[in-house]
Amino acid sequence: MRPRRAFLQVSLALCGGAMAPGLVAAAPSPATSLARVRGGRVAGTREHGVHVFRGIRYGADTAPRRFLPALREASWRGVRDALAYGAATAQRGGEGPGSEDCLFLNVWTPGLRDGARRPVLVYLHGGGFNNGSGSDPLYDGARLCLRGDVVVVTLNHRLNAFGYLYLGGLLGPDYAGSGNVGQLDLVQALHWVREHAAEFGGDAGNVTLFGQSGGGAKIATLMAMPAARGLFHRAWTMSGQQVTAAGPRAADGRARIYLDALGLSPADAGRLRMLPAETLLAAQSVRDPSRIEDSALYFGPVMDGAALPRHPFWPDAPPQSAAIPMVVGNTRDETRAFLGSDPDNFTLDWEQLPARLRTQQYLDIDPDLVVAGYRRLYPHYTPSEVFFAATTAGRSWRGAVEELEARARDGGGNTWAYQLDWYPRDVEGGERRRAFHTLDIPLVFDNIARAGSRTGVAPQAQRVADAMSEALLAFARCGDPRTGATADWRPYSLPRRETMVFDAEPRMADDPRGGERRLYRIAPFVQRGTL
């Protein structure tokens, strides 16, 4: 072996700091774990050799300050239990109705107050800017702690109208930041992490944000927020991009549509502060005017000139984050998660396909041109395969390409791309879903056996989880995801567009799906909700 190659492999192994894939955690212990946080003392548990604290407050109840930046949590006397997850934010759907008293976070750590200075990984959950929480079983951080000797944090914050309803145009300057208070909750949580990293055995100077879907979009937005500068040092995003944000005119227009759905006039906007949360949630189902398909009103970050002074990744990558290493990933078949529940999408013929594409591809391109392009690129594809491929390329993937190109133009050499092609062939529905949106969550967390995972637990699934979780841990440790199976991962550059393809065995590819990328370049990309 050449000396340089040998040195590289040794360096990558040290950077990754990963435990052997066959490691088995110790049995759960009933021992109580105690930590001191700024509000007082908290008592967690030991689970599989890891200290676990759930439901720690990082902010006060937001109900008294609805639509305003949150206050810090009040102090308490004695020891407060940190044994159960805190409430999710107010929302519709499976995790609703939730509560406006929702500023809670959860911590997993191998050690307390031991001076180990472990990397801290903070996960931002998906669900767009509308729903979700940090308590999904797939987000359990114990296996990452054991595999990589790291601290893992998950959290809840305000979403939907409670976190992103812009009222500056209706209620004046006191509410100018209301369109970004959900993001400011994240900033507040990151301040808490920095303040308490040493208590939980972590390094405040080495914080990695990672997040999937809406979580990745929140990270991209934080990268352009002055208030978040210096609070995190690496960014790993999974199928979640935020290229542009809503402008104040578009956000104000949505606020007025929302008022109308509530039966209020603009002069009555102040009543939004007093209405029951359930009433505010119900009104969010009003149709968004910018969307082709029937979709609820959009709420997301707002380019308000203060909290978010610019678009996150337009016209360039945010200069304040240029030195932060970043991974931008996606799955090969994203939209099978959203559109795969409709059986008609699996039986399309060539005559039906253009009309179906017209309502489901976000870029405004003649569907006949798209179909013709795909038939040239992939003559063996069925109409349904074209449908899922085209909706993926014309929706979330295009945003990932925009972010990667923006970072590559800076020439920093610290941006990395991945694409998840692997999917379980031995799991029911696996062939139908393929590499769908969210499939990479249990792989990156190494939680393939957890409830909600659709990876299966076959040896091949575990090998993919090993490769992805070890790459994340290496990245968290030193800003470079190369280790073990991903030792050949090269930074993304132009024009090569180097991408790590996670399949049964990881492999590097230059410009995968380049034909699809070129096909969609004929239309400009604008993030949904911007207009």
Q: Are strands 50-57 and 40-47 parallel, antiparallel or unpaired?
A: antiparallel
The string of DSSP letters for 97-118 reads S-BS---EEEEEES-SSS---E
Name residue 219's amino acid.
I
- Residue 351 falls in the annotated catalytic set: no
Alpha carbons 494 and 496: distance in angstroms, whole number: 5
- Residue 334 falls in the annotated catalytic set: yes
Name residue 311's amino acid.
H
Name residue 275's amino acid.
L
Residues 6+ apart with CB under 8 A from 411: none
SS (H, E, C) 479-523: CCCCCHHHCCCCCCCCCCCEEEEECCCCEEEECCCHHHHHHHCCC
Catalytic residue (choose from 47, 95, 334, 516): 334
Alpha carbons 188 and 177: distance in angstroms, whole number: 14
Catalytic residue (choose from 213, 239, 321, 453): 213
Catalytic residue (choose from 73, 311, 437, 470): 437
Sign of CA dihedral 92, 332, 350, 514: positive
Alpha carbons 436 and 423: distance in angstroms, whole number: 8
Structure tokens given for 11: 């360096």
- Residue 437 falls in the annotated catalytic set: yes
Do residues 473 and 150 lie in contact, with contact meaning Cβ atoms separated by under 8 Å?
yes
Annotated active-site positions, please? 213, 334, 437
